[in-house]
Amino acid sequence: VYIAAFAVSAYACSFTRAGGKPFNPILGETYECLRPDKGFRFIAEQVSHHPPVSTCHCESKNYTFWQDVRWKNKFWGKSMEIVPMGFTHLELPGFGDRYEWSKVTSCIHNILSGQRWIEHYGEMSIKHSTTMGDVSHCKVTFLKSRSGGLNANEVEGMVTDSDGRVIHSLFGKWSEALYLGKPPSVTCIWRANPMPEDHEQYYGFTQFATELNELEEGLKPLLPLTDTRFRPDQRLLEEGDIAGAEEQKERIEVLQRERRRVLQENSMTHSPRFFKRAEDDSWVSNGTYWDLRKDPGFSKQEFPVLW
Ligand SMILES: *[C@@H]1O[C@H](CO)[C@@H](O)[C@H](O)[C@H]1NC(C)=O
Ligand SMILES: *[C@@H]1O[C@H](CO)[C@@H](O)[C@H](O)[C@H]1NC(C)=O
């Protein structure tokens, strides 16, 4: 039930982001998020450009989380569907539990004109296993909204045991909260954090998202030069220089195309720095990032010039 809430909660931040375009990471771009206060450390890398694949790995004393984000876009004229591929993985080593789930389809409506809004629909299937085999399964259905906004953002879920018996039911909205049980006896198990008051001026970002681009002086010498925080276009956009950001973005894209051409001319392929391909074709951390960061330190290593 809690893992389902965690998986659903990942969609909440998209509610205020329908109007904004995401930043496309550059091939080889990396990102780290070291949060001792929250007990985790996270790394991400853009490992492929065509098709775009972003991969991440997060570890804590109590869990390991990893996923690669790949998708197919389908244009429908007025809307665009984003169909994700690949799985999200979570392990709780203290309990020997392992969870694996897929994502649902996202759709951005009114991409060309009018008020943009985002919808997620389809089935998320969470498989729970231990070293002993399959334990339980949770199916969460993201409902498609009907005309007039009925069912907007609604989800409903069901946890079944290994014999297929329903042991828990869930319902709520991915944009707001999730409840365990059936009315009238329900318990709230997750509620989205309130948005910062001025989020509309800040690209609809949550408090957490606005903190991610922060570049403290002490952090600068520790990061690889490929870290997102060094991206000049993103920095300028944060500082409100939209024209400057656009200029830098174009320059960075030209550089990326040049690197691609050099690789092609030499019949070489790009090799990711901190991730490798697993047997099942998913991307996993190669486990070197934090060790290299400590010794010899990224300032003593070579990185491609991405911007
Ligand atoms: C790990 O789990 C324990 C028990 O639930 C909790 O007290 C602790 O804060 C957790 N530690 C981290 C780093 O999340
Ligand atoms: C992991 O990546 C590092 C840095 O790119 C590389 O030197 C190393 O050979 C890789 N290690 C493994 C175990 O794949």
Q: Is the pLDDT of residue 270 over 90?
A: yes
The 3-class SS string of 126-156 reads EEEEECCEEEEEEEEEECCCCHHHCCCCEEE
Q: What percent of the chain clears pLDDT 90, i.e. is strictly above it? A: 86
Instruction: Say yes or no: CB of residue 276 within 6 Å of ligand 2.
Output: yes
Tokens of 86: 């690949």
Index of the ligand 2 atom closest to the CA of residue 274: 2
Tokens of 178: 């999730």
pLDDT score at 142: 98
The fold for domain 2-24+71-200 equals Porin (2.40.160)
Q: Tell me the residue type at 131.
A: T
Index of the ligand 1 atom closest to the CA of residue 39: 13
| Long-range contacts, stretch 252-259, CB < 8 angstroms, 24+ apart | 252/26, 252/306, 252/307, 255/305, 255/306, 255/307, 256/26, 256/27, 256/49, 256/306, 259/27, 259/304
The alpha carbon of 83 is separated from its chain's Cα centroid by a whole number of angstroms, namely 14
The alpha carbon of 23 is separated from its chain's Cα centroid by a whole number of angstroms, namely 13
Over range 109-120, report the average pLDDT: 91
| Residue range 145-183, pLDDT digits in tens | 988 778 899 999 999 999 999 999 999 999 999 999 998
The helix (run of H) or strand (run of E) holding residue 56 is: strand 53-60
Alpha-carbon span 140 to 133, nearest angstrom? 21
pLDDT score at 122: 97
Alpha-carbon span 275 to 68, nearest angstrom? 10
pLDDT score at 279: 92
Q: Is the pLDDT of residue 254 over 80?
A: yes
Residue 237, CB half-sphere, CA atoms under 13 Å: how many? 20
Quote the ligand 1 centre to 138 CA distance (angstroms). Answer: 24
| Residue range 182-205, pLDDT digits in tens | 989 999 999 999 999 999 888 899
pLDDT score at 20: 77
Domain boundaries, the chain: 2-24+71-200
Give me the residue label for tokens 């509610």.
15
Instruction: Say yes or no: CB of residue 62 within 6 Å of ligand 1.
Output: yes
- Residue ID of nearest Cα to ligand 2 atom 13: 286
Over range 239-250, report the average pLDDT: 95
Q: Quick one: which ligand is closest to 39's CA?
A: 1
Higher pLDDT, 274 or 210: 274
- Residue ID of nearest Cα to ligand 2 atom 10: 286
Instruction: Say yes or no: CB of residue 273 within 6 Å of ligand 2.
Output: yes
Tell me the pTM. Answer: 0.93
Q: Quick one: which ligand is closest to 95's CA?
A: 1
- Spatial contact of 234 and 228, defined as CB atoms under 8 Å apart: yes
DSSP for residue 14: G
Alpha-carbon span 38 to 62, nearest angstrom? 12
Give me the residue label for tokens 């790949």.
70
Quote the ligand 2 centre to 87 CA distance (angstroms). Answer: 23
Strand runs labelled E in 86-218? 88-92, 97-101, 105-109, 117-130, 133-142, 154-161, 166-173, 177-182, 185-191
Index of the ligand 1 atom closest to the CA of residue 60: 13
Instruction: Say yes or no: CB of residue 301 within 6 Å of ligand 2.
Output: no
What DSSP string describes 227-293?
Answer: BGGG-HHHHHHHTT-HHHHHHHHHHHHHHHHHHHHHHHHTT-----SSEEE-TTS-EEE-S-HHHHH
Quote the ligand 1 centre to 62 CA distance (angstroms). Answer: 6
Antiparallel, parallel or unpaired: β 283-285 and 275-277:
antiparallel
Q: Quick one: which ligand is closest to 277's CA?
A: 2
Quote the ligand 2 centre to 287 CA distance (angstroms). Answer: 8
pLDDT score at 93: 94
| Residue range 2-55, pLDDT digits in tens | 999 999 999 999 999 887 777 889 999 999 999 999 999 999 999 999 889 999
pLDDT score at 133: 84
